[in-house]
């Protein structure tokens, strides 16, 4: 079967590596991909939101399966685009319909969805320019800290945690005035939950579901979880505090009502549900839903997955996930992300990357993110440049192995956190 994978990050390199390893995969195309995905298949110069271009490409290359990495094509309706096209409708697309993608694309939609299905989450109110005065008086009486969320997609920047009322009112007004563009035309004001976070990954066929290995990511740029938020600086899987009792609470209170809720509301969803969970005391609450896999979590989840990924996706497309049993490598997997100097602020691109030709031990894998080929040289082309994933029996050893690999990798301004998984050492 010929497969088209959309996206260009470390998540897509990990997915491409796994898809290419399946006997069911004849040719793999990655649009647009990066220097790493080029070793797993053929990179195609096509944007993941160029639906017309994708339509032509799928017909020309007899694509039999489309896997969507990032959220934007899903929120913009790529699944609906395929479903309503006479030629494309027979091609399964892994991802939810635009309505299902609202779980990520609209915070207000996802909060109402959780309310309708009694899924535990922080209490909230929703405001827009029409009731902003009411919003301000609500904020002034709110306990501290206060969480403000722009309703729509805001490139991971739409959540602001305010420590005092003056800051909260100012931020609220800025959001409504368009700080995040259209994404902030509605603002969700939420109760602050204090606890430890983790990422839970579910693949659903709209009726059944399987739970993939869980992970914990490290978002802050600095060691000890200091400094600004990034797209992710590292991840570990499994998560030591996610024992059977806690995972079972997540399944009963969150996963089952979510999958049943989507089905009851006739929302077409054959894809990933990424649930950001916070453990408050002994109880799980949903912080957010995403309609895709996490990045850099995929770089530890996919290597731990023993199942054939193409088989898994076909089972999701054909609604037979009840017949599938997930098998995981019991070892610990960690990934460390090497980023460009200055990231998540401004940074330069185009620096040659040295050390990638070094042979790796069997326990480590390098997944590219912001890289591209310039003649025969791999150069940096983004903030998050590459991820080094390693397996070991303990978090300590896994992190150590990834650090060892990174010591031999160099590009101008390279930075990575040396303390991924620090709280589990």
Contact partner at residue 371 from ligand GLY, ligand AMP, none, CB < 5 to 8 Å by partner kind: none
**Binding segment (CB under 6 A) for ligand GLY, from list 76-84, 165-173, 294-302, 417-425:** 294-302
Give yes or no for residue 217 binding ligand GLY (CB under 6 A): yes
HSE-up of residue 219 (Cα within 13 Å, Cβ side): 12
Contact partner at residue 232 from ligand AMP, ligand GLY, none, CB < 5 to 8 Å by partner kind: ligand GLY
Q: Strand 93-96 vs strand 124-128: parallel, antiparallel, or unpaired?
A: unpaired
Look-up of token digits 């195609």? 44
Nearest-angstrom CA–CA distance, 402 and 230: 20
Q: What does the block give as tokens for 325?
A: 């049993």
**Beta-ladder partners of 270:** 95
What's the Rg (C-alpha) of the chain?
A: 21
Smallest distance from the beta carbon of 166 to ligand GLY, in angstroms?
30
Kindly state the number of chain residues that form the binding site for ligand GLY, as judged by CB under 6 A: 6
Q: Which residues between 118 and 137 bind ligand AMP (CB under 6 A)?
A: 122
Nearest-angstrom CA–CA distance, 386 and 80: 33
Q: Which is nearer to ligand GLY, 80 or 297 (CB)?
A: 297
Contact partner at residue 197 from ligand GLY, ligand AMP, none, CB < 5 to 8 Å by partner kind: ligand AMP
Give yes or no for residue 159 binding ligand AMP (CB under 6 A): yes
Give yes or no for residue 238 binding ligand GLY (CB under 6 A): no
Look-up of token digits 């590292």? 234
Helix (H) or strand (E) holding 228: strand 226-229
Q: Which is nearer to ligand AMP, 31 or 146 (CB)?
A: 146
Contact partner at residue 295 from ligand GLY, ligand AMP, none, CB < 5 to 8 Å by partner kind: ligand GLY
Q: Which residues between 296 and 325 bind ligand GLY (CB under 6 A)?
A: 297
Q: Are 389 and 365 in contact (CB under 8 A)?
A: yes
Helix (H) or strand (E) holding 365: strand 364-368
Give yes or no for residue 280 binding ligand AMP (CB under 6 A): no
Question: What does each C-alpha distance from 90 to 82, 300, 312, 318, 389 come to in angstroms?
Answer: 8, 32, 18, 11, 36
Nearest-angstrom CA–CA distance, 135 and 152: 18
Give yes or no for residue 290 binding ligand GLY (CB under 6 A): yes
Q: Which is nearer to ligand AMP, 18 or 142 (CB)?
A: 142
Q: What does the block give as tokens for 286?
A: 């949903």
Give yes or no for residue 108 binding ligand AMP (CB under 6 A): no
Contact partner at residue 181 from ligand AMP, ligand GLY, none, CB < 5 to 8 Å by partner kind: none
Could you write out the DSSP letters of every residue in 250-315? HIIIIIHHHHHHHHHTT--EEEEEEEEEEEETTEEEEEEEESS--TTTHHHHHHHB-S-HHHHHHH
Smallest distance from the beta carbon of 106 to ligand GLY, in angstroms?
16
Nearest in space to 328 (alpha carbons), one of 199, 212, 200: 212
Give yes or no for residue 206 binding ligand GLY (CB under 6 A): no
**Binding segment (CB under 6 A) for ligand GLY, from list 49-57, 244-252, 290-298, 372-380:** 290-298
Q: Which residues between 178 and 207 bind ligand AMP (CB under 6 A)?
A: 190, 192-193, 197
Smallest distance from the beta carbon of 217 to ligand GLY, in angstroms?
4
Within 10 A of 366 (CB to CB), how many other CB atoms are there? 23
Give yes or no for residue 288 binding ligand AMP (CB under 6 A): yes
Q: Which is nearer to ligand AMP, 7 or 232 (CB)?
A: 232
**Beta-ladder partners of 280:** 283
The alpha helices in 4-60, defined as continuous H runs, are: 10-20, 51-60
Give yes or no for residue 232 binding ligand GLY (CB under 6 A): yes
Interface residue with ligand AMP, options 16, 25, 93, 147 (CB under 6 A): 147
Contact partner at residue 48 from ligand GLY, ligand AMP, none, CB < 5 to 8 Å by partner kind: none
Q: Which is nearer to ligand AMP, 159 or 326 (CB)?
A: 159
Give yes or no for residue 287 binding ligand AMP (CB under 6 A): yes
Nearest in space to 303 (alpha carbons), one of 371, 227, 381, 360: 360
Residue numbers of the site for ligand GLY (CB under 6 A)?
217, 232, 290, 294-295, 297
Interface ranges with ligand AMP (CB under 6 A): 122, 147, 156, 159, 190, 192-193, 197, 276, 287-288
């Amino acid at each position: 079967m010929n497969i088209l994978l959309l996206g260009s990050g470390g998540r897509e390199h990990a997915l491409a590596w796994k898809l290419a390893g399946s006997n069911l995969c004849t040719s793999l195309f990655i649009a647009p991909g990066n220097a790493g995905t080029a070793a797993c298949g053929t990179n195609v110069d096509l944007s993941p939101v160029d639906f017309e271009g994708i339509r032509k490409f799928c017909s020309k290359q007899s694509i039999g399966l489309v896997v969507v990495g990032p959220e934007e094509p899903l929120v913009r309706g790529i699944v609906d685009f395929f479903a309503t096209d006479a030629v494309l409708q027979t091609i399964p697309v892994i991802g939810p319909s635009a309505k299902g993608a609202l779980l990520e694309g609209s915070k207000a939609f996802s909060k109402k969805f959780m309310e309708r299905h009694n899924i535990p989450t922080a209490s909230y109110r929703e405001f827009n320019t029409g009731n902003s005065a009411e919003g301000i008086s609500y904020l002034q009486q709110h306990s501290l800290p206060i969480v403000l969320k722009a309703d729509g997609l805001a490139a991971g920047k739409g959540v602001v945690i305010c420590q005092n009322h003056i800051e909260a009112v100012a931020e609220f007004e800025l959001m409504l005035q368009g700080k995040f563009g259209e994404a902030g035309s509605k603002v969700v004001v939420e109760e602050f939950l204090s606890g430890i976070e983790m990422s839970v990954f579910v693949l659903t066929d709209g009726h059944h579901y399987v739970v993939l290995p869980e992970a914990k990511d490290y978002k802050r740029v600095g060691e000890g979880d200091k400094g600004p938020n990034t797209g992710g600086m590292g991840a570990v899987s499994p998560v030591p505090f996610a024992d059977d009792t806690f995972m079972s609470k997540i399944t009963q209170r969150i996963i089952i009502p979510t999958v049943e809720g989507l089905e009851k509301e006739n929302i077409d969803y054959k894809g990933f549900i990424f649930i950001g969970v916070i453990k408050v005391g002994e109880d799980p609450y949903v912080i957010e839903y995403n309609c895709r896999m996490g990045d850099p979590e995929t770089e530890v989840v996919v290597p731990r997955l023993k199942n054939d990924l193409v088989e898994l996706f076909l089972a999701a497309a054909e609604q037979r996930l009840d017949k599938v049993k997930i098998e995981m490598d019991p070892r610990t997997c960690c990934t460390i992300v090497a980023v460009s100097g200055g990231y998540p602020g401004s940074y330069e691109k185009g620096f040659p990357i040295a050390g990638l030709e070094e042979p790796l031990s069997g326990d480590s894998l390098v997944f590219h993110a912001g890289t591209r080929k310039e003649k025969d040289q791999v150069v940096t082309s983004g903030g998050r440049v590459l991820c080094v994933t390693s397996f070991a029996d303990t978090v300590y050893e896994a992190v150590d192995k990834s650090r060892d690999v990174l010591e031999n990798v160099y590009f101008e301004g390279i930075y990575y956190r040396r303390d991924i998984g620090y709280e589990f050492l």
